[in-house]
């Protein structure tokens, strides 16, 4: 796969991630800083490394599955896997400026 194709796929995945919201916070998971890494290989498999706002997050079971399902809907992706990590632990500092503004932190 060419680098420009990988960049295009990455941008499409980011657009999908921006449609998924933490139910407790009215900001998408990408702007919240919950996505740590997105990798795509030549076999059209995506791996997303993400965290949750807390280990006790009420959507710990459903949110990763929602991410996988929505990313797999992309034509360029055959399968998606989400790995949850708490290293580093999520903090409000990881939010984008847009998210901080939306939530009144700026």
Categorize the per-residue pLDDT at 70 as very low, low, confident or very high, splitting at 50, 70 and 90.
Answer: very high
CATH code of the domain covering residue 64: 3.30.300.130
User: Mean pLDDT for the chain?
Assistant: 92
Share of the chain above pLDDT 90, in %: 72
pLDDT above 70 (res 97):
yes
In a domain, 15, yes or no: yes
E-assigned strand segments in 1-106: 35-40, 45-50, 79-84
In a domain, 69, yes or no: yes
In a domain, 106, yes or no: no
In a domain, 12, yes or no: yes
Q: What is the mean pLDDT of residues 82-98?
A: 95
In a domain, 98, yes or no: no
Q: pLDDT value at position 12? A: 95
**Torsion angle of C-alpha atoms 8, 81, 35, 29, degrees rounded to 10:** 90
pLDDT above 80 (res 4):
no
Closest by alpha carbon to 30, among 55, 57, 12?
12
CB distance 69 to 35 below 8 Å: no
pTM value > 0.75: yes
In a domain, 102, yes or no: no
In a domain, 73, yes or no: yes
Please tell me which residue, 79 or 6, carries the higher pLDDT value. 79
Q: pLDDT value at position 6? A: 65
Domain range enclosing 56: 3-92
In a domain, 54, yes or no: yes
Q: Count how many domains the chain has.
A: 1
């Amino acid at each position: 796969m060419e680098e420009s194709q990988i960049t295009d796929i990455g941008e499409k995945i980011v657009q999908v991630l921006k449609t998924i919201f933490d139910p407790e916070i009215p900001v998408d998971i990408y702007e919240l800083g919950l996505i740590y890494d997105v990798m795509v290989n030549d076999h059209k498999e995506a791996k997303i490394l993400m965290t949750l706002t807390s280990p006790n997050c009420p959507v710990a079971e459903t949110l990763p599955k929602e991410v996988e399902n929505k990313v797999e809907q992309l034509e360029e992706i055959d399968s998606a896997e989400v790995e949850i990590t708490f290293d580093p632990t999520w903090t409000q500092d990881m939010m984008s400026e847009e998210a901080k503004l939306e939530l009144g932190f700026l």
